[in-house]
Structure formats: C-alpha cells, structure tokens
C-alpha cells in the first residue's frame, strides 16, 4: 500500500553537527547568497518582499483616493494629482502586485515541492525574472518620483500618446519590463510542469494548484508579448509621431483598445487562476476531504485560459466598435462564466460531509468564495450588452473588478500566505489574530465596495475627482470601509513579521495536509527539497488514507 | 430611506427596459448567491470538525451534478444574452424619424449644435417624447457621452463620427457626464440635458433664433474653402457634384459600393485620396488642420441639405 511510500525517511531530518536542521533559510546568510540565489524558494522570498512593498505602495494611493472622495468637492488635492493617484494605484496594483503576486511568490515556492522536483526547470532564468520585475518596479516608482503619470492604468490613446504631459514612457516601460518577468516565469512553469514531475505524478494526480498555475502560465506566455508590442507602439507614436493610434497621424484609437484588452482581459485570469488553485488546496485540507469533481476544476482552469482570450471586446461595447462584434464578444463572455461557476459549485460540494475546521486560511478561502461569487455574478451583468452600456465606466465596474481582484485574488493570496507560512518560514503565526484579521478584511472589503455597485448604477462615472452631491452618502460608506480594510491588511503585516522571530516552531505538517510539500518536506524545506525523488502513487487529496506525518 | 436613491430616474423609453433586465439579473444573482452562501454555511456548520481523528468518506464527484450545474447556468446566461442583445440593438439603432443634433467633445466641454442653428455648451435642450439622434465628434481625445437617466452612453472617438439616440419621456433636468477619462478636468466635463414640453421647446428654439441654420453656415464655409470650384452643381466639375448625393450609394474607383453618409463626407474632406468616387481623379488636397470638427459638421449639414433639394 501507499503507506510505506509516505513514511518519513530518517535521512530527511538530517541534522547539522550543532543540532540545528539545515534548511534553505539557514544554509547561508550573506546578502550575496540571497541576491544571487538560484533556489526557487529564496527567489520566492525575494518576490514576497518586493511584492509586499508594492502592495502597500498601491494601498497608500488607494487610501488617498478614498480620502479625496469622502466629499463631492475636490478639496484634498488638485484634479491633476487625483488623476495621478488613481493611475498609479492601478499601475502598481495590476502590473506589480496582482499579476505577479500568487505565481511569483507561491507558484515559485511550491511548484517544485508539489511535483517532487528539486527546483524549477531554469533556475537562473527564474532569478532573472525577479531582477526584471525589480527593474520594472523601480522604473514605475521612478515615474512617480519624477512627477507621476495621469493616463489611467489603461493608457488609452490618443490621450497617452499625444495629449498627456506626464511620465507615460517611464511608467509604460516599467510595465513593459515587468512583462518579461511574467513571460519568463510562465515559460519556466510550463517546462517544469511538463518535464519535472516526480515518477508516478501523472497530469490528473497533480494538485489543482499546479493546474491553476499551468493555465496561468499559458496566458502569460501567449498574452504578455501582445501588451509588450502595444507599449512599444505607444512609445513610437509618443516619441516619434509615427501614426498608429492617433487619427491625425493616420492611426486608429480603437486599435489600441483591441490590442490592450487582448492582453489585459486574459491578465484578469492571470490574477484569478492561481488564487483559484490556492482555494482548491485550502478547502480540501480544512474539510479533510478529496476535492469534489477534480477533473472539472482542473479542466475548467484550462477552459478559462483559452476562452479568456476570446472575450476582450466586452470592454468596448460603447467604444464605437461594430455592434455585431459586441454581440459575439457578449456571447463568448457568457460562456466563460460557466467554468467559474463550475468551480464554485465544486468547492461548495467539497464541504459536504467533510470535517470542516475554521483555521485562518479556511476563513480566507470561505471569504474568497463569498466575494468571488458576488464578483462573478456581477460580471454577468456586465456581459449583458444593454446593461453594460449604462454601467460601463461607472463605479459599478469599479466595484465588480475589485470583488474579483481584491475579493478573489487577494483573498486567495492571503489564504495562501497563511496556509503555507509555516512551511515557508518554519514558524506559526498567532491563530486568533489571523482569524480576526480575516474577519476585518471581509467586513472592510464589503463596506468599501458594495456601495459602489449602487452608486455606479446611479450613474457615478469612475475616475471622477469631483462628483455631484447626491452620490456622497455611498462614497462615505466606501471611505469608511476602506479604512477598516486598510487596518485589516496591516494586522497580518505585524503578526507575520512578529512570528518570524517569536512564533512557535512549525512541524512539517501543522495542518495534517496532503501533498508532497507537507508530507515529504520539513518546515522549512532543505535547499534541495527532497533527499530522494518521491514516487507518487496516490491521487491528489487522498485524505481518506490518513497517513500524514504529524 | 429619505432622499437616498438606489436607482436613477427612468427618463427615457430605454430606461425602464434596461432596469427590468437589471432587476431580473439581481433576482437571479440573489437566488444563486443565497443558494451558495446557505450551502456553505450549512455544510460548514453541519460538518464542522468534531474530532481530530475524523476521516470523512471520499466523494470524488458526480457527473449528473456537474452537468446540472453547467447546463442550468448556461441556459440562463444565453437567455440573458438574447435579452441584452435585443435591447442593445434598439439602443444603438436610431429610428428614421429621429431629430438630429450634433455634438462635439473637447477637453473639457460639450459643444452642442442644433441643425436649426442654436449652439449650446454643456447644455442640451430637447423636446419630450421625440426620438433624438446625436452625431458626435471630438476635437482631441476620446470622450463618452453619458446620460444616466436615459441609460445610454457612447464614446466619442477621434477620427470618426459615432451616433447614439434616445427618446426622453419625462421633462426635467438630467446629468450629462463624460464617462471616458479625458485628462485633467475629466470630472468637470459635465452638463445638463434639459427635457422640455414641445411648446416650451419651440419657445426655447425661437428665443435662440439669432443663429442661422447650420446648413447656411455650412454653405458659407463651403464657399470660403473654395469647395465649389470643383464640386459644382452639375456633374461637370473636377469633383463629383454633391447635389442629391447624401444618403445615396456610390461606386468607388476600386469597384466597392459605399453609402455617402456623415462619416464618408468627413473622411473625404480629411483624407480625400482614400475613397475616390469612380470616374474622378484623386486630385483633391486634404483639408486636415484647416477645418475644425464643428466646421466639418457645418459642411456636412450643407451637403445634407442638398440631398433633398434636387437642384440648388
């Protein structure tokens, strides 16, 4: 039986002569050993630090936006400053947090561990990805320091190419370079998943986290080059007046929107698919039960990745594109809703007759289910042609995508952070505080964004610095909620940092979870991950076998 | 609830229809959200962990269930698709008898031009119960003409005309917003749509009669730019005659058949070499940079006025 396979091997807990167990964190301590590391786990930590910094930077912009919107008049800052605030909030959060977050941190750390590999296929390329990300982030920060950008994160032409006076090129170049980081990470993941799975780990035995990242990687590799080209075209027009998007020069402004959304809509799935992978892991672990409908969840990720490439025009129902094109994009958008619905139903069914506990990662995962469901359902509103014409470019859409991005992606990210924290750091965080912060984030989030559905349907346009008075009440709710949400994100920052030094030591498998990273690796894992290549004979999530290592 | 509004006023024929679809979507969403939330709650409580040694029985899945929860949402969304698409085509296809008004967006104001000559900035006066078609252009970046009370919105895009229409059913004053981010004072590119009773509207029109009709201004511009030296009344000029041409079909040099509409006239003035009418030489110079969007609309109105006159 499989029991024998999963017994801890004695050599796995080999100790140093002084009694400490060697792991990837204490293998060496010099700065150089971190900055030149090719260990996927250390690179994940580098990402974790840089991505967290960008998250809080983007968060500061968000707080300033919400403070300005507390009153209808523009009293906190000038319109120009306000426009730069929402642009930088979008650029930082989308390109430097949401897109890389889960894959670059958790995908990096966990993919090799989950499939029983020593590292990713191209460790040096992986390090290069981080340097590209950092270079891109520094350029974006540079564009802020030197005066900011005011085009909106969507860089619509001809405003961005001809009319804006701000640092468009610098910010766009930042996104361009960070894009290569994304392409290389995707490439690395695809090759790793194809070529480096442990013996016995067939495709349909892979954890769903791996499936989610596989689908994500395909989008990264196929989609990102298109936005890279688009950014180059914007730069060519802006710098050399080569007519591509500006009709005065013979270009077509709607062409930009097609190119931009051809990447940026699938990019939404880059943000959500890895989070969906996380949710599959967390829900199974805290229900102690195999996931319901494994194949359906796995293949729905692939369906989302592929269909996701065919729906970009739903951002353009009012843009002046052909009404027949809108018709096609609308029906395809409705189709892409189905695989997401399948996932939600399957996760819910997984709880049925499980053994459900409410540890912090599970609270975040349940929060994800609630918020993603609302985000998904309101997505159906937006797919509906006539309804979208009214709510397009209003706060309704702002609310919808924050339910998906913040309610979905970031809740998934937080679930992952809490679930794998003991594995990554070897320390446990204070559970009570973690549950408390999950609750605070959930409440703060809903208070911030739910009122925006109402004020959006009432007609309040997005990107408005000054707004009519009748919209104020809803904005007051939003601003109040955002301060609660902000506190909700600060609490984990504090207790997680605290736990690094003072948290109790984590056992290899504190959640009694299934999966190679839990059952075959100490916490934290050694540099080389596994002393012996594991042989996998079990299906994923075989909780019934109950042979986890305490 | 006092003064707090949850829904905007229904001030156009479309508004009620869009709201009905919106309410249907809310009902469906509430049903599915409640279904999922109560199942999660029920399962999470009913099957909470009672002992660390619990070993739940494995349930791999159930094909029937997977089909059920794929097909039911699929049917529902396809129904919603059809409903939304029908309304969308209504919303974007103006009726033939619609009254025409021209709009030019400009950082950061709305310039409105009535065919009868009245001009307004950031205000649009229209009669109630009469379909109104807007033909819109922009002098600079993309703007978007949005009247929440009418549930309509359309981007105003450089390099082309876009159109939209509505039929107001309630007198009053309604917000007009620019919905596409257009630069520093985007949030101040706002205005008011004033819907008036027919009689009041006529009074308003006559109170503003200091302006000549748009087509007359257009004719002056036509002379001023010396268009008439080539585009003569009869087909004996270097360019085709423009009399009676608007709304008709014409054959291009490459054999393609096009309809002479606002967009075609605009393009032919700015990029005359692109789509030349069969039988003529591409000798017309471009007027790009010499004529504003408003000027283009004036000339277009003049050419339109020639459509019915037969001779001038």
Structure tokens at B1: 């609830």
Q: Is the CB of A463 less than 8 angstroms away from the CB of B187?
A: yes
Q: How far from the centroid of its chain's Cα atoms is residue B170's Cα?
A: 20
Q: How far from the centroid of its chain's Cα atoms is residue B234's Cα?
A: 36
Q: Is the CB of B77 less than 8 angstroms away from the CB of A338?
A: yes
Separation in Å, CA A262 to CA A102, A229, A332, A482, B180: 22, 12, 14, 31, 19
Give the mean model confidence (pLDDT) for residues A322-337. 94
Contact criterion met (CB below 8 Å) for A260 and A154: yes
What is the tens place of the pLDDT at every residue in A514-538?
Answer: 999 999 999 999 999 998 899 998 8
Q: Which residues contact A146 (CB under 8 A, 6 or more apart)?
A: A167, A170
Q: Is the CB of B70 less than 8 angstroms away from the CB of A387?
A: no
Closest-CA residue to A45 (of A500, A415, A486): A500
Look at residues B186, B211, B236 and tell me which one is the last residue of a structural domain. Answer: B211
Chain B residues lying within 8 Å of A358, measured CB to CB: 44, 48
Specify the pLDDT at position A10.
Answer: 41
Contact criterion met (CB below 8 Å) for B99 and B130: yes
Q: What is the DSSP string of A134-191?
A: HHHHHHHHHHHHTT---STTTT-TTIIIII--S-HHHHHHHHHHHHHHHHHHHHHHHH
CA separation for the pair A16, A433 (Å, rounded): 34
CA separation for the pair A138, A131 (Å, rounded): 10
C-alpha distance from B6 to closest chain A C-alpha (Å): 6
CA separation for the pair B180, B141 (Å, rounded): 9
Q: Are B157 and B27 part of one and the same domain? A: yes
Give the mean model confidence (pLDDT) for residues A222-242. 93
Q: Which residues contact A291 (CB under 8 A, 6 or more apart)?
A: A208, A280, A283, A284, A297, A346, A347, A350, A540, A541
Selected residue of B187, B193, B273 to mutate for chain A interface (largest A Cβ count, 10 A): B187
CA separation for the pair A156, B142 (Å, rounded): 8
- The helix-helix angle for A208-240 and A253-285 (nearest 10°) equals 160
A 10 A CB-CB count for B237 gives 16
CA separation for the pair B108, A239 (Å, rounded): 25
Q: Is the CB of B25 less than 8 angstroms away from the CB of A381?
A: yes
Q: Is the CB of A465 less than 8 angstroms away from the CB of B186?
A: yes
Q: Are B207 and B100 part of one and the same domain? A: yes
For the beta sheet containing B191-196, the strands, ordered from the edge strand earlier in sequence to the opposite edge, are B123-127, B191-196, B172-178, B143-147, B152-156
Mean pLDDT for chain A? 92
Closest-CA residue to A412 (of A204, A160, A212, A167): A212
Q: Is the CB of B186 less than 8 angstroms away from the CB of A353?
A: no
Share of chain B above pLDDT 90, in %: 54
Q: Are B138 and B239 part of one and the same domain? A: no
Q: How many residues does the structure list for chain B? A: 312
Chain A residues lying within 8 Å of B292, measured CB to CB: none
Look at residues B176, B211, B246 and tell me which one is the last residue of a structural domain. Answer: B211
The pLDDT confidence band at residue A20, using thresholds 50, 70 and 90, is low
Give the mean model confidence (pLDDT) for residues A281-285. 96
Chain B residues lying within 8 Å of A377, measured CB to CB: 28-29, 32-33
Q: Which residues contact A26 (CB under 8 A, 6 or more apart)?
A: A20
The answer to whether the predicted template modeling score (pTM) of the entire model surpasses 0.80 is yes
SS3 helix, strand, coil % of chain A, rounded to 5?
70, 0, 30
Domain contains B47: no
A-B interface: how many C-beta pairs under 8 angstroms? Answer: 290
Q: What is the CATH number of the domain that holds B68?
A: 2.60.40.420
Given a cut of 80, whether residue A16 has pLDDT beyond it is no
- Classify A41 as helix, strand or coil: helix
Q: Which DSSP letter does residue B175 get?
A: E
Q: Is the CB of A290 less than 8 angstroms away from the CB of B58?
A: yes
Q: Is the CB of A385 less than 8 angstroms away from the CB of B85?
A: yes
C-alpha distance from A345 to closest chain B C-alpha (Å): 7
Burial class (CB in 10 A: 0-12, 13-18, 19+), B180: buried
CA separation for the pair A436, A423 (Å, rounded): 22
Give the mean model confidence (pLDDT) for residues A337-353. 94
Q: Is the CB of A464 less than 8 angstroms away from the CB of B186?
A: yes
ω before B96 within 30° of 0 (cis)? no
In DSSP terms, B134 is beta-bridged to: B101, B164
- The helix-helix angle for A208-240 and A294-307 (nearest 10°) equals 10
- The residue assigned the tokens 């293949």 is A299
Q: Are B197 and B151 part of one and the same domain? A: yes
Q: Are B199 and B221 part of one and the same domain? A: no
Return the exposure string of A345-363: e unless at least 16 CB atoms fall within 10 Å of the residue's CB, then b: bbbbbbbbbbbbbebbbbb
Contact criterion met (CB below 8 Å) for A525 and A41: yes
C-alpha distance from B263 to closest chain A C-alpha (Å): 13
The CATH homologous superfamily to which domain A41-549 belongs is: Cytochrome c oxidase-like, subunit I domain (1.20.210.10)
Q: What is the CATH number of the domain that holds B242?
A: 1.10.760.10
Specify the pLDDT at position A19.
Answer: 55
Query: Which 364-423 residues of chain A touch chain B by CB within 8 A?
Result: 366, 369-370, 373-374, 377-378, 380-381, 383-390, 392-394
CA separation for the pair B233, B278 (Å, rounded): 18
ω before A524 within 30° of 0 (cis)? yes
Separation in Å, CA A126 to CA A43, A109, A195: 8, 11, 16
Domain contains B2: no
* Domain boundaries of chain A, sorted by first residue: 41-549
Specify the pLDDT at position B229.
Answer: 84
Domain contains B48: no
Chain A residues lying within 8 Å of B44, measured CB to CB: 351, 356, 358, 366
What is the tens place of the pLDDT at every residue in A462-472?
Answer: 999 999 999 99
Selected residue of A205, A314, A319, A385 to mutate for chain B interface (largest B Cβ count, 10 A): A385
B47, B61, B185 member nearest A354 (Cβ)? B47
- For B177, phi then psi, to 5°, come to -120, 150
A 10 A CB-CB count for B128 gives 17
Q: Are B152 and B260 part of one and the same domain? A: no
Q: Are B280 and B224 part of one and the same domain? A: yes
Chain B residues lying within 8 Å of A348, measured CB to CB: 36, 39-40, 43
Q: Which DSSP letter does residue A427 get?
A: B
The pLDDT confidence band at residue A94, using thresholds 50, 70 and 90, is very high
The pLDDT confidence band at residue A9, using thresholds 50, 70 and 90, is very low
Q: Are B142 and B204 part of one and the same domain? A: yes
Give the mean model confidence (pLDDT) for residues A503-524. 92
Contact criterion met (CB below 8 Å) for A198 and A535: yes
Structure tokens at A312: 């970009």
Q: Give the containing element (helix H, strand E) for B125.
A: strand B123-127
Query: Which 195-214 residues of chain A touch chain B by CB within 8 A?
Result: none
Q: Are B116 and B233 part of one and the same domain? A: no
- Classify A117 as helix, strand or coil: coil
Contact criterion met (CB below 8 Å) for A407 and A368: yes
Specify the pLDDT at position A18.
Answer: 54
What does R_g of chain A's alpha carbons equal in angstroms?
23
Q: Are B204 and B275 part of one and the same domain? A: no
Q: Are B262 and B151 part of one and the same domain? A: no
Domain contains B97: yes
Given a cut of 50, whether residue A546 has pLDDT beyond it is yes
First to last CA, chain B: 62
Chain B residues lying within 8 Å of A243, measured CB to CB: none
Counting as low any pLDDT under 70, the low residues of chain B are: 1-3, 208-210, 308-312
> Which residue of chain B is at minimal alpha-carbon distance from A348?
B40
- Classify B109 as helix, strand or coil: strand
Chain B residues lying within 8 Å of A374, measured CB to CB: 29, 33
Structure tokens at B217: 């201004």
Domain contains B45: no
CA separation for the pair A164, A187 (Å, rounded): 35
A 10 A CB-CB count for A239 gives 10
Given a cut of 50, whether residue A81 has pLDDT beyond it is yes
CA separation for the pair A460, B105 (Å, rounded): 19
Closest-CA residue to A269 (of A188, A209, A215, A189): A215
Contact criterion met (CB below 8 Å) for A386 and A318: no
CA separation for the pair B130, B167 (Å, rounded): 5
Q: How far from the centroid of its chain's Cα atoms is residue A503's Cα?
A: 27
Selected residue of B86, B179, B296 to mutate for chain A interface (largest A Cβ count, 10 A): B179
Domain contains B3: no
Structure tokens at A338: 């189905």
C-alpha distance from A164 to closest chain B C-alpha (Å): 7
- The helix-helix angle for A123-145 and A168-195 (nearest 10°) equals 160
- The residue assigned the tokens 């109950």 is A546
- The residue assigned the tokens 């660390």 is B52
**Interface check A547 vs B, CB under 8 A:** no
Look at residues B192, B211, B230 and tell me which one is the last residue of a structural domain. Answer: B211
- Note whether ipTM > 0.95 here: no
Q: Are B69 and B186 part of one and the same domain? A: yes
Task: Output the CA torsion sign for A392, A398, A401, A407.
Answer: negative
Q: Give the containing element (helix H, strand E) for B144.
A: strand B143-147
Q: Which residues contact B106 (CB under 8 A, 6 or more apart)?
A: B138, B139, B140
Full domain range(s) for residue B240: 214-309
Structure tokens at A506: 């984590």
**Interface check A475 vs B, CB under 8 A:** no
Share of chain A above pLDDT 90, in %: 87
- The helix-helix angle for B63-92 and A323-351 (nearest 10°) equals 150
Closest-CA residue to B201 (of B129, B292, B285, B275): B129
The alpha-helical segments, DSSP class H, found in A395-471 are 395-402, 411-425, 431-457
Q: Is the CB of A461 less than 8 angstroms away from the CB of B32?
A: no
Q: Which residues contact B83 (CB under 8 A, 6 or more apart)?
A: A384, A386, B21, B24
Contact criterion met (CB below 8 Å) for A321 and A327: no
What total of structural domains would you count in chain B? 2
Q: Which residues contact B293 (CB under 8 A, 6 or more apart)?
A: B104, B137, B138, B139
């Amino acid at each position: 039986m499989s029991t024998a396979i999963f017994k801890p091997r004695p050599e796995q807990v080999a100790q140093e002569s002084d009694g400490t167990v060697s792991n990837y964190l204490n293998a060496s301590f010099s700065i150089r050993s971190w900055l030149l590391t090719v260990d996927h786990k250390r690179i994940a930590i580098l990402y974790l630090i840089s991505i967290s910094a960008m998250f809080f930077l983007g968060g500061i912009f968000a707080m300033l936006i919400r403070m300005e919107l507390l009153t209808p008049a523009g009293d906190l800052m000038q319109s120009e400053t306000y426009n730069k605030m929402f642009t930088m909030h979008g650029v930082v959060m989308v390109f430097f947090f949401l897109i890389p977050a889960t894959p670059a941190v958790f995908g990096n750390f966990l993919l090799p561990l989950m499939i029983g590999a020593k590292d990713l296929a191209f460790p040096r390329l992986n390090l290069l990805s981080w340097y590209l990300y950092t270079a891109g982030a520094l350029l974006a920060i540079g564009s802020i320091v030197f005066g900011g950008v005011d085009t909106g994160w969507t860089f619509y032409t001809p405003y961005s190419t001809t009319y804006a006076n701000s640092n468009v090129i610098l910010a766009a170049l930042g996104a361009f370079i960070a894009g290569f980081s994304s392409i290389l990470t995707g490439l690395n993941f695809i090759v790793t998943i194809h070529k480096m799975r442990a013996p016995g780990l067939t495709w349909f035995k892979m954890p769903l986290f791996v499936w989610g990242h596989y689908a994500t990687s395909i989008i990264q590799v196929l989609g990102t080059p298109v936005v890279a080209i688009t950014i180059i075209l914007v730069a060519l027009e802006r710098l050399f007046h080569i007519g591509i998007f500006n009709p005065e020069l013979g270009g077509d402004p709607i062409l930009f929107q097609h190119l931009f959304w051809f990447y940026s809509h699938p990019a939404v799935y880059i943000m959500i698919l890895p989070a969906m992978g996380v949710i599959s892991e967390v829900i199974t672990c805290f229900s102690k039960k195999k996931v319901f409908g494994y194949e359906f969840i796995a293949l729905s990720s692939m369906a989302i990745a592929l269909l996701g490439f065919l729906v970009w025009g739903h951002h353009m129902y009012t843009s002046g594109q052909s009404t027949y094109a809108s018709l096609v994009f609308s029906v395809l958008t409705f189709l892409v809703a189905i695989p997401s619905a399948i996932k939600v139903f399957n996760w819910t069914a997984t709880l049925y007759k499980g053994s459900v506990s409410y540890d912090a990662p599970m609270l975040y995962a349940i929060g994800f289910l609630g918020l993603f469901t609302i985000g998904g359902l309101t997505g159906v509103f937006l797919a509906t042609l006539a309804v979208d014409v009214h709510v397009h470019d209003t706060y309704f859409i702002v609310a919808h995508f924050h339910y998906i991005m913040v309610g979905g992606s970031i809740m998934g990210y937080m679930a992952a952070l809490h679930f794998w924290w003991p594995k990554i750091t070897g320390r446990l965080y204070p559970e009570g505080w973690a549950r408390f912060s999950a609750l605070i984030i959930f409440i703060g989030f809903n208070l911030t964004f739910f009122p925006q559905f109402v004020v959006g349907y009432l007609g309040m346009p997005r990107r408005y610095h000054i707004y009519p008075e009748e919209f104020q009440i809803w904005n007051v709710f939003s601003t109040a909620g955002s301060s609660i949400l902000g506190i909700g994100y600060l609490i984990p920052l504090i207790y997680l940092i605290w736990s690094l030094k003072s948290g109790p030591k984590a056992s290899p498998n504190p959640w009694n979870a299934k999966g190679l990273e839990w059952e075959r690796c100490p916490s934290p894992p050694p540099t080389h991950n596994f002393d012996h290549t594991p042989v996998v004979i079990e299906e994923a999530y075989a909780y019934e076998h109950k042979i986890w290592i305490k | 609830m006092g003064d707090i509004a949850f829904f905007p006023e229904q001030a156009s024929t479309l508004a009620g229809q869009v709201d009905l679809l919106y309410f249907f979507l809310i009902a469906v969403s509430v049903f599915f959200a409640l279904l999922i939330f109560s199942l999660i709650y029920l399962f999470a409580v009913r099957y909470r962990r009672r002992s660390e040694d619990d070993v739940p029985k494995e349930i791999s899945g159930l094909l029937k269930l997977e089909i059920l929860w794929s097909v039911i949402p699929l049917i529902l969304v396809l129904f919603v698709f059809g409903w939304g698409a029908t309304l969308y085509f209504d919303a974007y296809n103006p009726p033939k008898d619609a009254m025409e008004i021209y709009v030019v967006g400009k950082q950061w104001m709305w310039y409105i031009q009535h065919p009868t000559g009245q001009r307004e900035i950031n205000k649009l006066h229209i009669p109630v119960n009469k379909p109104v078609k807007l033909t819109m252009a922009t002098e600079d970046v993309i703007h978007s003409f949005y009247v929440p009370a009418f549930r309509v919105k359309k981007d105003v895009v450089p390099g082309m005309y876009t159109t939209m229409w509505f039929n107001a059913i309630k007198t009053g004053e309604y917000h007009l917003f620019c919905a596409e981010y257009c630069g520093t004072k985007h949030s101040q590119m706002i205005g008011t749509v004033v819907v008036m009773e027919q009689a009041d509207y006529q009074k308003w029109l006559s109170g503003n009669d200091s302006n000549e009709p748009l087509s007359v201004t257009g004719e002056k511009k036509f002379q001023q730019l010396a268009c008439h030296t080539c585009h003569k009344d009869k087909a004996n000029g270097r360019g085709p005659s423009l009399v009676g041409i608007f709304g008709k079909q014409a054959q291009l040099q490459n054999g393609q058949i096009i309809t002479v509409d606002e967009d075609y006239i605009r393009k032919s003035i700015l990029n005359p070499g692109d789509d030349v009418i069969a039988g003529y030489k591409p000798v017309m110079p471009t007027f790009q940079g010499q004529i504003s969007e408003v000027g283009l609309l004036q000339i277009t109105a003049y050419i339109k006025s020639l459509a019915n006159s037969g001779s001038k």
